[in-house]
Amino acid sequence: MENKEKRSSSSQSQQMGQSCHDCPICCETLENTNMSATVCGHVFCTKCIVQAIRVCKTCPTCRTNLTLKKIHPLYL
Q: Does the model's pTM come out above 0.95? A: no
Secondary structure E strands in the chain: 35-38, 43-45, 71-74
User: Which pLDDT score is estimated for 18?
Assistant: 52
Q: Which CATH number goes with the domain that contains 63?
A: 3.30.40.10
Q: What is the pLDDT of residue 31?
A: 83
Residues forming a β-bridge with 73: 36
Q: How many domains does the chain have?
A: 1
Say how far apart CA 32 and CA 73 lie, in whole Å. 10
pLDDT in tens, 7-40: 444 444 444 445 578 999 999 999 888 999 999 9
List of long-range contacts for 1-4, beta carbons under 8 Å, 24+ apart: none
**Predicted local confidence at residue 39, as pLDDT:** 97
Tell me, yes or no, whether 4 lies in a domain. no
Residue 65's domain spans which residues?
A: 19-74
Q: What is the pLDDT of residues 32-65, one digit of tens each?
A: 889 999 999 999 999 999 999 999 999 999 999 9
13 lies in some domain? no
CA distance 31 to 61: 19
